[in-house]
């Protein structure tokens, strides 16, 4: 056998990269491996799944118990593969429903355990025991389409006719009919505005649906922020308590030194009053002082003696 260092380094490198790649795949897909990713796999057939995605939660009574692991088209139905945790009890008549998790349209697979016994691994829940999701965006779209198909003029005429027929009825009933008639006229007068509103509403729901993942991430980030604030609640409480203690100590310090501070403040007030009275004298002194200090410095600048010039006058 050849020594290790004499073998082809290219083959060794490729083998090493292959092993590393397999380890990375195993690390990211550990929950899907047959031994490490413990859990029972089932299937459910739906007439349609809306926005359900691979990786969405599977819940029982609102408690997460697994994940959606696959979505595929099976004829005119959609087959959803999901895995639930070990120990999750599902009866033989268990049903499945796709529900909306948030107002933004995020969905999850809800299981409703039912029936006796235990649902065998790999069992497919038929369409008869599944409920497709309610699509909010589609509902608004249908509302807009239905409203466009209405003949507001005919509705207004019908209500006007009803008002005329009820003219001989009691006053209370006639008042109610008149109110309905007025409402129909107002709706007819604002038909274009209502249609515009519904069209814009349809556009808004479309934008929200297209930004669903971003909005969900925003909500998650906000939740993380609130969780961080909650975790630091004790630290914030300690900070407030410490601030209160410092305030109390400062108050006590002021109380203890009040007797000494009052005379000092009175003396300081007297000094400032005196300085204010002699402001002009101080100003003149500050004006003359630089010249005097310059001459004084020249007289003492050459040693520990006074140096000056004396002019002796005489007859010339």
Q: Three-class SS string for 178-192?
A: HHHHHHHHHHHHCHH
What is the tally of structural domains in the chain? 4
Looking at the structure, tell me whether residues 110 and 168 fall in a common domain: no
Assess whether 149 and 193 both reside in one domain: yes
202 touches 147 (CB < 8 A): no
Q: What is the pLDDT of residue 162?
A: 65
Q: Is the dihedral of CA 213, 216, 222, 226 positive or negative?
A: negative
Average pLDDT on 152-156 reads 66
> Are both 112 and 61 inside the same structural domain?
yes
Angle, helices 233-277/279-300, rounded to nearest 10 degrees: 90
pLDDT for the residue 316: 46
The number of helices, as runs of H, and strands, as runs of E, in the chain is 8, 8
> What is the per-residue pLDDT across 5-64, written as a single tens digit (0 to 9) for each?
555 565 666 666 677 767 666 555 545 555 445 688 999 999 888 778 888 899 998 889
What is the predicted pLDDT for the residue at 217?
A: 75
Given 232, 251, 270, the domain boundary residue is: 251
Residues 157 and 196 reside in one and the same domain = yes
Q: Are 114 and 30 in a shared domain?
A: no
What's the chain's average pLDDT? 75
26-35, pLDDT tens digit by residue?
555 545 555 4
HEC string of 192-239?
HHHHHHHHHHHHHHHHHHHCHHHHHHHHHHHHHHHHHHHHCHHHHHHH
Same domain? 108 vs 45: yes
Distance between CA atoms of residues 148 and 238, nearest Å: 62
Does 51 lie in the same domain as 26?
no
Please state the rounded mean pLDDT for residues 105-119: 86
Which range is least confidently modeled, 30-39, 82-91, 264-273? 30-39
3-class DSSP state for residue 103? Answer: coil
pTM of the model: 0.37
Give the pLDDT of residue 193: 79
Q: 153 and 87 in one domain?
A: no
**Both 124 and 154 in a single domain?**
no
Strand order in the sheet with 40-46: 124-125, 40-46, 77-84, 63-74, 57-60, 107-112, 95-100, 130-131
| Co-location of 50 and 110 in the same domain | yes
Domain boundary among 72, 105, 134: 134
What is the pLDDT confidence band of residue 129, given thresholds at 50, 70 and 90? Answer: very high
- Provide the CB-side half-sphere exposure for 29 (13 A, CA): 10
Does residue 272 lie in a domain region?
A: no
Asked, for residue 204, whether it belongs to a domain, the answer is yes
Q: Is the predicted pLDDT of residue 81 greater than 90, yes or no?
A: yes
- Name the nearest CA neighbour of 82 among 48, 108, 47: 108
In a domain, 283, yes or no: no
Residue 56 is assigned to a structural domain of this protein: yes
- Residue 314, pLDDT score: 55
Q: Report the C-alpha gap between 79 and 56 in whole angstroms.
A: 15
Q: Which of 110, 134, 158 is the last residue of a domain?
A: 134
Q: State which residues form the domain around 185.
A: 137-210
Is 305 part of any domain?
A: no
Q: Is residue 311 in a domain?
A: no
Same structural domain, 7 and 45: no
Whole-number pLDDT of residue 252: 76
Q: What is the pLDDT of residues 194-231, one digit of tens each?
A: 778 877 877 777 777 677 677 767 767 776 777 777 77
């Amino acid at each position: 056998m050849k020594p290790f260092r004499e073998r082809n380094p290219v083959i060794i490198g490729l083998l090493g990269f292959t092993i590393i790649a397999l380890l990375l795949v195993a690390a990211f897909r550990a929950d899907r491996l047959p031994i490490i990713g413990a859990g029972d796999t089932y299937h459910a057939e739906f007439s349609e799944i809306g926005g359900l995605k691979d990786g969405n939660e599977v819940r029982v009574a609102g408690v997460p118990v697994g994940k959606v692991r696959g979505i595929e088209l099976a004829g005119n139905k959609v087959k959803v593969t999901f895995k639930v945790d070990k120990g999750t009890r599902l009866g033989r008549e268990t049903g499945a429903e796709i529900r909306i998790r948030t107002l933004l349209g995020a969905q999850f697979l809800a299981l409703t355990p039912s029936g006796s016994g235990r649902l065998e691994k790999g069992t497919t829940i038929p369409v008869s025991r599944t409920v497709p999701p309610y699509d909010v965006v589609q509902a608004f779209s249908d509302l807009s389409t239905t409203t466009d198909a209405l003949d507001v003029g005919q509705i207004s005429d019908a209500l006007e006719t009803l008002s005329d027929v009820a003219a001989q009825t009691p006053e209370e009933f006639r008042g109610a009919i008149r109110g309905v008639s007025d409402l129909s006229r107002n709706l007819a007068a604002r038909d274009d505005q209502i249609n515009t509103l519904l069209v814009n509403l349809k556009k808004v729901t479309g934008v929200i649906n297209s930004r669903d993942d971003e909005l969900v991430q925003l909500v998650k980030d906000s939740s993380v922020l609130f969780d961080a604030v909650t975790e630091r609640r004790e630290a914030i409480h300690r900070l407030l308590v410490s601030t209160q203690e410092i305030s109390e100590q400062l108050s006590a310090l002021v109380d203890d030194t009040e007797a000494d501070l009052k005379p000092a403040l009175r003396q300081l007030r007297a000094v400032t009053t005196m300085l204010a009275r002699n402001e002009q004298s101080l100003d003149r002194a500050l004006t003359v002082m630089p010249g005097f200090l310059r001459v004084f410095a020249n007289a003492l600048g050459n040693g520990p003696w006074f140096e000056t010039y004396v002019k002796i006058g005489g007859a010339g």
